[in-house]
Every structure is written in C-alpha cells, then in structure tokens.
Amino acid sequence: MSEVFEGYERQYCELSANLSRKCTSAGLLDGEQKKQKVSEIKAGLDDAESLIRKMDLEARSLQPNVKGMLLAKLREYKSDLNNLKSEVKRITSTNANQAARDELLESGMTDTLMASADQRTRLLKATERLNQSGDRIKESRRTMLETEDLGVSILQDLHQQRQALLHAHDTALQDSESDM
C-alpha cells in the first residue's frame, strides 16, 4: 500500500476522532461558546474534505489490485465525513424537527449518489468485459479463418497429389500393358 495514502489516512482518522469529540462537546454548549466550537468543527471538516480528496487522488494513481481496496476505504471515510457534517447541522439547527428532516433528505440523497456511483462503476466494468469478449471473438474468428484457409490449401495439395498418383498409376498400367 502507498505510504502517502497511509499518511493521509492517519491524519484523517485523527482529525475525524477529534471532530467527533468536538461535536459531542458542542452539543452541550450554548451561545457564543457553541458558535466558536461549531466554527472550529467546520474548519476541521474542510481539512477532512481536503484529506479525502488527496487520498482519492493517491488511490487512483496506484495499481488496480490496490486501488480497489483503497477506494472502498475511501467510501467509508466519505460516509463518515457525511455523518460528521450531518451532526454539525443537527447541532447548529435551532429547530430539531428541521434538522431531522434535513438529515433524512441528505441521507437519502447520499444513498442515491453512492448507488449511482456504484452503478456507474459496475456499468463501466461490464462494458469493459463486453469489449474484451468482443475482442476475443474477433481474434477467434480471425484464427478460424486462417485455419480454414490452411485446411483448403492442404486439401488442394492432397487433391493435386492424388491426381499425380492416379496419373502415375495409369501410366504404369499402360506401360505394363504395352510390355505384354
């Protein structure tokens, strides 16, 4: 695995844990202290987003066998970040019902976007497999045509050899009859 990715991952995990603690403590505060804590959390969320973007770029630049595993981790981190953002919205919202409504709408939208991304990934893989299968079929067809041409050539050679043998046989018979 990439040391660069692991470094970003370590930073993100520490930052995420720190933000979770801050969210918990911010929920207990009121007034100006709460606003101060929320602004610290929002700055931390921006840093976390930046780290996720860096991890994404790093993961996509690696070998396919490692890339898949890292992108799966990255999806978990994105989900974690979205949960933290939802928590901040819940804390800052003055109306608890409005916060619950927003959270439901956002989680539905997040699920839709994740499903869309997963569908796109599956579709791209299926298209790639289809293209590879088409290439294999073309290669098999080319091999079949070459084999057929070779078979026709061999049959023509055998026909010529048969004709030569029959001619030689007829000539030998004629010579033996004339000798008698």
Task: Give the end of a domain, one of 92, 121, 152.
Answer: 92
pLDDT digits (tens, 9 = 90+) for 43-73: 999 999 999 999 898 888 888 888 888 888 8
* Same domain for 155 and 77: no
Domain boundary (26, 59, 92) is at: 92
* Number of structural domains in the chain: 2
Give the Cα separation of 16 and 48 in Å (integer): 7
Q: Clarify whether residues 127 and 86 are in a common domain.
A: no
Residue 101 region by backbone torsions, left for phi larger than 0, else alpha for psi between -120 and 50, else beta: alpha
Same domain, 88 and 109: no
Domain extent, residue 131, equals 97-179
Q: Which of 40, 37, 44, 36 is nearest to 15 (CA)?
A: 44
Give me the pLDDT at residue 1, please: 60
- Residue after which a domain boundary falls, among 57, 92, 127: 92
113 plus 149 within the same structural domain: yes
pLDDT tens sequence across 21-46: 888 888 777 778 888 888 899 999 99
Q: Is there a single domain that holds both residue 36 and residue 67? A: yes
